[in-house]
Amino acid sequence: MTFEFLAKDPASKARAGVLTTAHGTIQTPIFMPVGTAGTVKAVHQRELKEDVKAQIILGNTYHLYLRPGLNVLEKAGGLHKFNGWDRPILTDSGGYQVFSLSGTRKIVEEGVKFRSHIDGSSHLFTPENVMDTQRTIGADIIMAFDECTPYPCDYKYAKNSMERTHRWLQRCIDRFDTTDPKYGYEQTLFPIVQGSTYKDLRIQSAETIASKNRPGNAIGGLSVGEPAEMMYEMTELVCDILPADKPRYLMGVGTPANILENIALGVDMFDCVLPTRNARNGMLFTTQGIINIRNERWKEDFSPIDAELGGYVSTFYSKAYLRHLMHATEMLGAQIASVHNLTFYLWLVGQAREQIMAGTFRAWKDQMVKKLMTRL
Ligand X SMILES: CNc1nc2c(CCNCC3CCCCC3)c3nc(N)[nH]c(=O)c3cc2[nH]1
Of 28, 55, 93, 235, which lies in the binding site for ligand X, with binding defined by CB under 6 A?
A: 93
- 94 in a labelled binding site: yes
Q: Are 202 and 235 in contact (CB under 8 A)?
A: no
Query: CA-CA-CA-CA torsion for 131, 135, 141, 145, nearest 10 degrees?
Result: -10
CA angle 368, 32, 91 (to 5 degrees): 150
- 97 in a labelled binding site: no
Active site residue 92: yes
Strand, helix or coil for residue 335: helix
Which x/- pattern over 259-298 shows residues binding ligand X (rule: CB under 6 A)?
Answer: ------------x-x-------------------------
Least Å distance, CB 347 to ligand X, is 21
57 lies in the binding site for ligand X (CB under 6 A) = no
What is the C-alpha end-to-end distance of the chain, expressed in Å?
42
Of 82, 96, 198, 321, which lies in the binding site for ligand X, with binding defined by CB under 6 A?
A: 96
- 96 in a labelled binding site: yes
Of 33, 95, 216, 247, which lies in the binding site for ligand X, with binding defined by CB under 6 A?
A: 95
Distance from CA of residue 307 to its chain's centroid? 27
- Closest to 202 in 3D by CA, of 162, 144, 171: 162
Least Å distance, CB 333 to ligand X, is 22
- 55 in a labelled binding site: no
Active site residue 271: yes
C-beta closer to ligand X: residue 210 or 332: 210
Looking at the DSSP bridge assignments, the partners of residue 26 are 19
Q: How many Å apart are CA 339 and CA 318, to the nearest integer?
A: 14
- Cα→Cα distances 336→110, 167, 316, 318, 330, Å: 44, 44, 10, 11, 10
- Of 9, 51, 92, 268, the catalytic one is 92
- Closest to 59 in 3D by CA, of 134, 146, 168, 121: 134
Which x/- pattern over 102-141 shows residues binding ligand X (rule: CB under 6 A)?
Answer: ----------------------------------------
Of 42, 48, 251, 372, which lies in the binding site for ligand X, with binding defined by CB under 6 A?
A: 251
Least Å distance, CB 104 to ligand X, is 19
C-beta closer to ligand X: residue 252 or 333: 252
Long-range contacts of 170-173 (CB under 8 A, 24+ apart): 171/126, 171/127, 171/128, 171/145, 172/93, 172/127, 172/128, 172/130, 172/131, 172/144, 172/145, 173/144, 173/212, 173/214
C-beta closer to ligand X: residue 14 or 148: 148
Amino acid letter at 239? C
State which residue has the least CB distance to ligand X: 252
Binding positions for ligand X, rule: CB under 6 A: 34, 36, 58, 60, 92-93, 95-96, 143, 146, 148, 192, 220-221, 223-224, 251-252, 271, 273
Q: Which residues belong to the active site?
A: 92, 271
Enumerate the known binding-site residues: 92-96, 146, 194, 221
